């Protein structure tokens, strides 16, 4: 695994662009809520730490991971500078996992290919609950933090 025994959630705030006054949306799936809430909190706190004002962070919840695409599409209509979608799908005994993961991935890829505003993909697709815990504030860091940093960096592309 690429992140085995590594915490990738550290960042150098001084090296990041100024994002004061920029609006960022966070859409969080309620499915596997313990995991997604940890990632949402990590993203939110990172955005604040990096200079985004609380009033400029729009937060929505959707029922499941599959609904993240529709939520992102609607959030883009709100005029945000970036959208972070946060979800967690854990492998089960059926093909449902494959269909949900593929649908969300293709939907977010489509939005990124057809829209000017970046949609940041923060969807855990793990085999076990423990893997998700490890990536939502555990030994592998918090993917929500990484998503927030990615959003900040992608916003800067618009300025360049």
DSSP count for the chain of H helices, then E strands:
5, 6
Question: Beta strand 119-126 with 136-138: parallel, antiparallel or unpaired?
Answer: unpaired
Does residue 14 lie within any of the structural domains? no
pLDDT tens digit sequence for 49-78: 999 999 999 999 999 999 999 999 999 999
Give the CA dihedral 69, 70, 74, 76, nearest 10 degrees.
Answer: 20
The radius of gyration computed from the CA coordinates of the chain, to the nearest angstrom, equals 15
Does residue 12 lie within any of the structural domains? no
Active site residues per annotation: 96
Indicate whether 3 pLDDT > 80. Answer: no
Does residue 4 lie within any of the structural domains? no
Q: Which pLDDT band holds residue 159 (cuts at 50, 70, 90)?
A: low
Indicate whether 127 pLDDT > 80. Answer: yes
pLDDT tens digit sequence for 73-124: 999 999 999 999 999 999 988 888 889 989 999 999 999 999 999 999 999 9
Range of 87's domain? 23-159
Q: What backbone torsions phi and psi does residue 24 show, to the nearest 5 degrees? A: -125, 135
Provide the number of structural domains found in the chain.
1
Does residue 131 lie within any of the structural domains? yes
Does residue 65 lie within any of the structural domains? yes
Q: Which pLDDT band holds residue 22 (cuts at 50, 70, 90)?
A: very high
Residue 31 pLDDT: 95
Decide if 26 contacts 59 (C-beta within 8 A).
yes
CATH number of the structural domain spanning residue 29: 3.40.50.960
Predicted model pTM: 0.92
Does residue 107 lie within any of the structural domains? yes
Decide if 87 contacts 31 (C-beta within 8 A).
yes
Does residue 18 lie within any of the structural domains? no
As to burial, measured by CB atoms within 10 angstroms (0-12 exposed, 13-18 middle, 19+ buried), residue 114 is: exposed
Does residue 9 lie within any of the structural domains? no
Residue 12 pLDDT: 84
Query: What's the mean pLDDT when you consider all of the chain?
Result: 91
């Amino acid at each position: 695994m690429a992140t085995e025994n590594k915490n990738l959630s550290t960042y150098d705030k001084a090296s990041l662009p100024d994002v004061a006054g920029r609006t960022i949306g966070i859409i969080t799936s309620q499915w596997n809520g313990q995991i997604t809430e940890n990632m949402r909190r990590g993203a939110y706190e990172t955005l604040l730490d990096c200079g985004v004002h609380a009033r400029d962070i729009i937060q929505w919840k959707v029922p499941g991971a599959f609904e993240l695409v529709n939520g992102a599409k609607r959030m883009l209509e709100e005029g945000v500078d970036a959208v972070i979608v946060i979800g967690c799908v854990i492998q089960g005994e059926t093909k449902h996992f494959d269909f949900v993961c593929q649908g969300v991935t293709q939907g977010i890829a489509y939005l990124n290919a057809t829209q000017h505003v970046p949609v940041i993909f923060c969807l855990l697709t793990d085999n076990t609950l423990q893997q998700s815990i490890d990536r939502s504030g555990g030994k592998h860091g918090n993917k929500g933090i990484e998503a927030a940093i990615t959003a900040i960096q992608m916003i800067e592309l618009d300025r360049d």
